Amino acid sequence: MKKKWLAVLFVGLMLLGQGCSNEAEEKRIRIAEQYGIAYAPLQIMRHQEMLEKKDPELTVQWEQMNNTTAIREAMVANQLDVGFMAIPPFLIGLDNGMDWKIFSGLSSVPVGLVAEDAIGSLEDFDDSKRIALPQPGSVQHLLLSMACEEEFGDPKRLDHLLVTMAHPDGLNALLSGGDINAHFTSTPYLQEELSQPGYHQILSGTEIFGAPFSFIVGATTASFYEESPEIHQILVETLQEAIVFIEENPQEAAGILTEYYDYSEEEIFEYLTHEETEFSSVVKGMDKFSTFMFDNEFLDGNYKEPTELYWDDVEYDDQDES
């Protein structure tokens, strides 16, 4: 009886082990994006099933998250392989020991601070005012900090006025006339806010930064890069194909994106072809962000070495033109 029980146990363990092995061998990729036209190539990839077409055995999981903090936490917990975000929160993750690197740039889009008409400049933000943006450490926060350093000599002058909100929530909060008096946002929320009476733009990202910069980049964990090199390469190739698709077919892309945004095809076409909108795998502005963040104690390290920042074959332009 004892031998029979041991045999059953042994078979059970073998089956369990086989199941775990099959699960471990499952080909999958888990990708997180956030909100806005800056992520358009990802929505094209998703709609066209571009990853699945390259590898029919690949399971693709898409997530849309409110900010990079949520993405970083999910990647640390091994719930995501790929995250798209701005350069500053990527650097904050790296500075805090995250084992990840950038595999591609994604986009540059119009970004700016929209405020009620009663607020004419940064000087008009008193303690009663509130500014919505995705999170502390976001690119919007760092651009605001740069503007504050330039105007007041204090990059953290307005930090106590910040309220964390995803872009759609920030738009609704500003336009509702409630507690939010300004919103640092990007396409398409920027244009929608500016189309409403009673609001105007007091700062632009281009004006603040003084040079072109990548608004969004893509990062992958070291474990995914090292353990799934073929899938990682498919990701790189497919993302570039999606970028080219938008460049060559903006009208068709706009039609596809109506399924992801509550805007007309004409409006989305205008956003995609705006003079400040560029979809590109080239990473721009890293050096200037890193230097500013280090100098103002947002980071403990000043990251200059490409091998710290990028996986192999990433194209970047790190010239600090300040």
- Provide the sign of the torsion angle of the four alpha carbons 28, 32, 36, 37, taken in this order: negative
Mention every residue, 6+ apart, whose C-beta is less than 8 A from residue 60: 28, 29, 31, 46, 49, 51, 52
Segment 236-275, tens digit of pLDDT: 999 999 999 999 999 999 999 999 999 999 999 999 999 9
* 14: exposed, middle or buried (Cβ count in 10 Å: 0-12, 13-18, 19+): exposed
Segment 195-207, tens digit of pLDDT: 999 999 999 999 9
Segment 145-203, tens digit of pLDDT: 999 999 999 999 999 999 999 999 999 999 999 999 999 999 999 999 999 999 999 99
Rounded Cα gap, residues 142 and 20, in angstroms: 44
What b/e sequence results for 20-41 when a residue is b if at least 16 CB atoms lie within 10 Å of its CB, and e otherwise? eeeeeeeeebbbbbbbbbbbbb
Q: What is the dihedral of CA 125, 131, 136, 138, to 10 degrees?
A: -110
- pLDDT average, residue stretch 20-36: 77
Model-wide pTM > 0.85: yes
Find the helix packing angle between 265-272 and 250-257, rounded to 10°: 130
173 token code pair: 């909060």
pLDDT number for residue 38:
96
pLDDT number for residue 15:
47
User: Is the Cβ–Cβ distance between 68 and 280 less than 8 Å?
Assistant: no
State whether residue 255 is helix, strand or coil: helix
Domain spans of the chain, in order of start: 29-109+213-317, 111-209
Q: How confident is the model at residue 25 (pLDDT cuts 50, 70, 90)?
A: low
Percent of the chain with pLDDT over 90: 88
pLDDT number for residue 66:
86
pLDDT number for residue 20:
46
Topology annotation, domain 111-209: D-Maltodextrin-Binding Protein; domain 2 (3.40.190)
The CATH class given to the 29-109+213-317 domain equals alpha beta
Do 29-109+213-317 and 111-209 have matching folds? yes
